[in-house]
Amino acid sequence: MTDAITEPRSVLITGGNRGIGRSIAEEFLRRGDRVAVTSRSGQGGPEGALTVAADVTDGDSLDTALKAVEEAHGPIEVLVANAGITDDQLLLRMSDDSFEKVLDTNLTGAFRTVKRVIKSMMRKKKGRIVLISSVVGLYGSPGQVNYAASKSGLIGIARALTRELGSRGITANVVAPGYIDTEMTQALPEDLQATYRKAIPAGRFADPAEVAKAVSFLASDDAAYISGAVIPVDGGLGMGH
């Protein structure tokens, strides 16, 4: 089963100091892995994890952080690209700057991180990559042209990677959460939160730990034959998309 620990692995989660990323880090710690997380301040990861400073929009900062992780824990065997932002605005009011900032963090940031860890996975002929997308990348959402574009782009990355590296023991999958109870959704106006709750068949937002379970499964040996998949954790919101 998924809880059976084989060897402890070197796991990296970007944006693991809070929200969904932190929950994912706690899940891997519970399984006995060597867990590192990034945050922009270099602080705030869960107890037992190595926290390093990295901004995914800055290749040099990522490089320095990943070197520190590799020195402490060995080459990264499981990467969870989770760092992400929103900057919502209706299209007519959305600036180029807002579009580019969200793409640079959510999509190019994941590309930079994957590219940095992939060589050692190829050498080992083993690796797990999980990209945190969103139901919004499949379903759309008004005011989120930038965010939706970035999140559907992650599916393209996972599927292209699967075709490039599928024969080398590396899997690349996407988890598409719906509305999860974190600072990102707590920032939404109350009436909008109520509207979303009504639209979700499960009738509630999820706990971040519910996303962490899906990520942990995709990173396990049990999921060796799952690659290029998009796993929704959305209470049924995005069904069929």
Q: Mark 93-131 as b/e (b = at least 16 C-beta within 10 Å).
A: ebeeebbebbbbbbbbbbbbbbebbbebbeeeebbbbbb
Judged by beta carbon, residue 20 or residue 129, the one nearer ligand NDP is 20
Binding to ligand NDP by residue 185, rule CB under 6 A?
A: yes
Binding to ligand NDP by residue 21, rule CB under 6 A?
A: yes
Stretch that binds ligand NDP, among 67-75, 89-97, 114-122, 177-185 (CB under 6 A): 177-185
**Residues paired with residue 24 on neighbouring β-strands, in sequence order:** none
Q: What is the dihedral of CA 81, 178, 47, 63, to 10 degrees?
A: 10
Binding to ligand NDP by residue 18, rule CB under 6 A?
A: yes
Binding to ligand NDP by residue 212, rule CB under 6 A?
A: no
Q: How far is CA 45 from CA 15, 31, 177, in A?
A: 9, 17, 21
Stretch that binds ligand NDP, among 90-98, 156-164, 178-186, 223-231 (CB under 6 A): 178-186
Q: How many residues make contact with ligand NDP (CB under 6 A)?
A: 29
Q: Pull the structure tokens for residue 169.
A: 């023991």
Binding to ligand NDP by residue 207, rule CB under 6 A?
A: no
Reply yes or no on whether 147 is catalytic.
yes
Binding to ligand NDP by residue 40, rule CB under 6 A?
A: yes
What's the rounded Cα separation, in Å, for the pair 118 and 106?
18
> What is the identity of the amino acid at 197?
R
Binding to ligand NDP by residue 232, rule CB under 6 A?
A: no
x/- contact string, 75-114, with ligand NDP (CB under 6 A)? -------xxxx-------------------x---------
In the chain, alpha helices (H) = 19-30, 59-73, 96-103, 109-124, 136-139, 145-165, 183-186, 190-199, 208-218
Binding to ligand NDP by residue 237, rule CB under 6 A?
A: no
Q: Pull the structure tokens for residue 207.
A: 């706990």
Binding to ligand NDP by residue 139, rule CB under 6 A?
A: no
Catalytic positions, written as ranges: 147
User: Which residues contact ligand NDP (rule: CB under 6 A)?
Assistant: 14-15, 17-21, 38-41, 54-57, 82-85, 105, 132, 134, 177, 179-180, 182-185
